[in-house]
Amino acid sequence: MENTSLIDQSYFPFLKEIKHAVMQARAKASYSVNRELITLYWELGQKIIDSQKQYGWGKAIVERLSKDLRDSFPGNSGFSTQNLWYMRQFYLEYKELPDLQQLVGEIPWGHNLVIMSKVKDVEAKRYYLKTTLQFGWSRNALNLQI
């Protein structure tokens, strides 16, 4: 028969350690997913720009692409027409700024949208990207800081 007082004394630190490991794994997974999404959005923005130049496509291609992607991936809300325009803008905004490209991959898409829409100065963008990452600001906190 197990000694319950020994189990109680050793179990709670064990549980705390396991919970910490789970939280760390979740944070790493979330970070990886975010990074992959930002990379995907960057690539889609670039492909839209390149295809518009190569084939002379206008604005209608973004609406068509949005519809076709939403039909192909019905559970994914990231392919709205507006979001595809944001991806295009995202690529244009940072393609000439390689030092900021890494930073934008570190924060969530919604945070990037806030910075893109509200901050025009490159140094100010750099500041908000770095500070958001450093302090883990929520989108609301970022909006307030800007």
pLDDT of residue 49: 97
CA distance 22 to 37: 22
In a domain, 32, yes or no: no
List, for residues 82-126, the tens digit of each pLDDT value: 999 999 999 999 999 999 988 999 999 999 999 999 999 999 999
pLDDT (0 to 100) of residue 6:
65
Q: Is residue 91 a contact partner of residue 45, using CB atoms and an 8 Å limit?
A: yes
Domain that holds residue 102: 97-146
Number of folded domains that form the chain: 1
Give residue 89's pLDDT: 97
DSSP letters along 51-110, please?
HHHHH---THHHHHHHHHHHHHSTT--TT-HHHHHHHHHHHHHHTT-HHHHHHHTTS-HH
- Quickly state the pLDDT bin for 10 (edges 50, 70, 90): confident
Question: pTM of the entire structure?
Answer: 0.84
102 belongs to a structural domain:
yes
- What burial class does residue 142 get, using C-beta atoms within 10 Å of its C-beta: 0-12 exposed, 13-18 middle, 19+ buried? buried
Q: How is residue 82 written in tokens?
A: 């507006």
The pLDDT value given to residue 88: 97
Q: Is residue 29 part of a domain?
A: no
Q: What is the rounded average pLDDT of the residues 5-18?
A: 84
Is 121 part of any domain? yes
Domain-located, residue 61: no
- Domain-located, residue 92: no
Whether 140 maps to a domain, the answer reads: yes
Does any domain span residue 43? no
SS3 11: helix
Q: Residue 111, Cβ neighbours under 10 Å: how many?
A: 22
Q: What was the pLDDT predicted at 9?
A: 80
Candidates 81, 101, 95, 5; CA nearest to 46 is: 95
Burial label for 132, CB within 10 Å (0-12, 13-18, 19+), is buried
For residue range 42-86, list pLDDT tens digits in order. Answer: 999 999 999 999 999 999 999 999 999 999 999 888 999 999 999
